[in-house]
Chain A
Amino acid sequence: EAGVAQSPRYKIIEKRQSVAFWCNPISGHATLYWYQQILGQGPKLLIQFQNNGVVDDSQLPKDRFSAERLKGVDSTLKIQPAKLEDSAVYLCASSLKTGTGNEQFFGPGTRLTVL
Chain B
Amino acid sequence: GQNIDQPTEMTATEGAIVQINCTYQTSGFNGLFWYQQHAGEAPTFLSYNVLDGLEEKGRFSSFLSRSKGYSYLLLKELQMKDSASYLCAVRGPNDYKLSFGAGTTVTVRA
Q: Which A residues form the contact surface with B (CB < 8 A)?
A: 4, 40-45, 48, 55-56, 91, 98-101, 103-109
Contacts and interface: CB of A to CB of B under 8 A. Distances in A.
B42 A106 contact: yes
Among A42, A105, A106: residue with most chain B CB under 10 A: A42
A103 B45 CA distance: 7
Contact of B97 (A48, A91, A101): A48
A14 to B, nearest CB: 24
B102 A56 contact: no
A21 B96 CA distance: 24
Interface in B83-110: 87, 89, 91, 95-103
16 contacts: A42-B4, A42-B100, A42-B103, A45-B99, A56-B95, A91-B42, A91-B43, A98-B96, A100-B31, A100-B96, A101-B31, A101-B50, A103-B45, A108-B41, A108-B42, A109-B42
Interface of B: 4, 30-31, 33, 35, 41-45, 48, 50, 87, 89, 91, 95-103
Contacts of A56: 95, 97
Given A100-B50, A101-B48, A42 B87 contact: yes
Contact of B96 (A44, A99, A107): A99
A107 B42 contact: yes
B58 to A, nearest CB: 17
Given A42-B87, A109-B42, A104 B98 contact: yes
Contacts, number: 48
A96 to B, nearest CB: 12
A46 to B, nearest CB: 11
A106 B43 contact: yes
B29 to A, nearest CB: 11
Contacts of B98: 45, 104
B42 to A, nearest CB: 4
Contacts of B33: 103
Given A99-B96, A100-B50, A103-B33, A42 B101 contact: yes
